[in-house]
Structure 1
Amino acid sequence: MMGLNIGSDRRDELAATSAILLYSTRNEGAVYGTVHPISAGKDGRGSIGAGRPIDRAALLSCLRELSQNAAPKAEFFPETVLAVSHDAVTWWCRPGMRRVFFDCPKIGKRSAAVPHPGLVFRAASNGFSVFALREDSRPTPSSKLHEPPYFNTWDWGKICIGTAHVPKRIDVSSTAGWESGFFESAFTHPNHGGKRVRHPKGEFAFWKEMLDGLYGEHFPKKLLVPMKTTLAELIAGKHGGVA
C-alpha cells in the first residue's frame, strides 16, 4: 500500500514532549486536568513526569497551536485537479499524444508516441487508478467513466505499480510525478479481468496498430469500454459494473 502524506513539509521527526491527563466522574465527564513532561529513558522509551494542574489559558493556547499546525495551508488548484480529500487526489489528464513503452513477448520492446483519450487519475491511500473518458473537455460529476485501454491495469482501473517510480506523497503537487510513473514504466502484460478495449482481435492487436501509427493523432474512442459508474461516484468511493 502506498503511503499518505498530505499537506506537510516537515522533515523533523515528531517526538512526545508532554502529556495531558483528564480526570472524570461518571456523571460529569472531565472535571480536572494535569499536564506532565515526558522524558526519554535509557532504553529509548518515554516516561511521564510529575504533573501540575492545567489552567484554562494554557489549554486554549495548546489547542490554538495544534489547530494552526494541523490546518492545511491554502494552495492554488490547477484546472486539472478534480477532487481532493484527506486520503486521495483525483485529477484529469487532457487527451493528446504521449509516448508509451512496451516490453512483452507478443509485442516486443517497442516505444512510440501515440494518441490517448482524456483520462482520470486517482492516487489514494488504498491504491493508484486510471479511467478513460469519451469527452475531450474537463469532465463533470456526471461524466461516464470507461475502462483504461492499457496493460498493467486491473478491474476498476487499478494500476499495477510493479517497479514504477511513483511519489511517496499524495497531494496536488505530486500529480505530475504519479502520471510520469504510469506512462514512463513499461507495459508488460494485460492483467486478468474484464475487457479493456472493444477491438475485434483483442488488446495485443490494438496496441500493435497504435504503435504502428494506424490511428494518427486521434484515439479511437469507439473502442473504449464503458463502465457503469460516473466521476461523482468514483470520488464518493462508489462502484458499479461494466456495461
Structure 2
Amino acid sequence: MKNITDNFGTMYTPVKALVVFQKNDPQGSTYIESYDMNANGYPVNAHPLSLTESAALANALDTSDELRRNFLKPLGLLPKNVLYINPDYDGYALWYTPAMEVALFFLDKLAIPNGKAAIPPLIWKASKKELYIFAMDGVEAIEEQTPLYRAPFFNIYDDGRVCMGTVSVDVRPDCLLQEFMQLWESYFFNSYFSHLLGGKSPVRGNIIQLWQSLIGSGKAFPIPELVKNGRTLKKLLS
C-alpha cells in the first residue's frame, strides 16, 4: 500500500477528550472527566477536568465567540449610509450608495468599452456569501416604503441576487462593517459583466446601447430608464 498522507492538507491531531457525566436525579449534578490522547489517538490517563484545562477550554470558546461578536461591528461611528444591520453570525447588512461615477468592466463580446460611467443610487444587501443589489430613483428620503428598481447591470437575477461567477468570495467571520461593505462593493465593481440573467432587460431600452452611450461620456445616469420590480425596501428587512 502507498502512504499518501503527505498529500493531505493541514492535519489536526487529537490531544484531549472530555466526557460529561450527569447523575440521574432531580439536581442533575455534572462531572467532567478529561482524557489525554496517546500517539495512536486513543484516550488515556482519565482524570477530573483540572482548573488549567478548564481555563484553556474557556479561552478557546471565548475566541470563537469573539469572532462572532465582531462580525458587522462598526469601526467607530455607524456609517451614515447604513440602513440596517442583522448582527447574527449568519446575518447581513443593508446599505445604500448615492448616484456616482465608477469604473465598469465588460467582456469583449458585449461590445461595450471598459471605462467610467454614471450609475444610479443603489441598495446593497449582503451576507457572508450572497449579494443583492437594487436601484433607487434618489436618496433624499429613504424609508421602508421606498420603491425598488432593478439594478441596471448584467449578471443579476430578477430577484436582485448577483451572480458572482468566478469571483472568489472570502468574508472573514470577524469582518467589521466598513470592511464588509467595501469588500462587497469591490467584488461587484471589479468583476467583468458578461450576460443578462432571467431573460428580461433590467432597463426600459437596450441595455447594451445604454452603457455604450454612458461609458466615458460624463453624462448622468438616465433615471427614467429604470424598471420597478414591485418591491419596497421593507421587503429586504427579513
**TM-score, structure 2 normalization:** 0.72
> Which residue of structure 1 lines up, in the alignment, with residue 34 of structure 2?
37
Change beyond 3 A, Cα 1:220–1:97: same
**d(CA) in 1 for partners of 2:80, 2:115:** 28
1:19 aligned onto 2:18 = yes
Q: Which amino acid aligns with 1:228?
A: G
Post-superposition offset of 1:112: 1.8
**1:52 matched to which residue of 2?**
48
Corresponding letter in the other structure for 1:19:
L
The code of the aligned residue for 1:89 comes to: A
Aligned residues: percent identity? 21
Q: Which residue of 2 aligns with 1:132?
A: 135
Aligned to 1:117: 120
The amino acid that maps onto 1:106 is L
Deviation at residue 54 of structure 1 after TM alignment: 9.6
Which whole-Å CA distance do the structure 1 matches of 2:45 and 2:132 have between them? 48
Q: Which runs of 5+ in 1 are unaligned?
A: 1-12, 237-243
Confirm whether residue 205 of structure 1 aligns to residue 209 of structure 2.
yes
Give the drift of 1:194.
3.6
What's 1:189 paired with? 195
* 1:105 match: 109
Q: Is the 8 A contact 2:19 2:33 kept in 1?
A: yes
How far apart are 1:234 and its partner, in Å? 0.9
Deviation at 1:105, TM superposition (A): 1.6
Distance 1:46 1:206 in 2: 67
- Displacement, 1:198? 1.0
**1:33–1:121: structure 2 CA closer, same or farther, 3 Å change rule?**
same
Residue 49 of structure 1: CA displacement? 6.0
- Count of paired positions: 214
Q: How does 1:86-97 map to 2 (within 5 A)?
A: 86=88, 87=90, 88-97=92-101
Alignment map for 1:170-185 (pairs within 5 Å): 171=175, 172=177, 173-185=179-191
Distance 1:212 1:67 in 2: 52
- Alpha-carbon separation, structure 2, partners of 1:167 and 1:50: 41
Separation (CA, whole Å) in 2 of partners of 1:97 and 1:104: 21
The unaligned stretches of length 5 or more in structure 2 are 1-11
**What is the distance in 1 between the residues matched to 2:109 and 2:114?**
14
Distance 1:138 1:179, change over 3 A: farther
Q: CA RMSD, aligned part only? A: 3.6
1:227 to 223, 226, 229: 229
Cα separation, partners in 2 of 1:139 and 1:49, compared to 1, 3 Å: farther
TM-fit CA distance, 1:48: 7.9
Q: Partners of 2:215 and 2:138 in 1: how far apart?
A: 23
Equivalent pair of 1:151/1:187 in contact (CA under 8 Å): yes
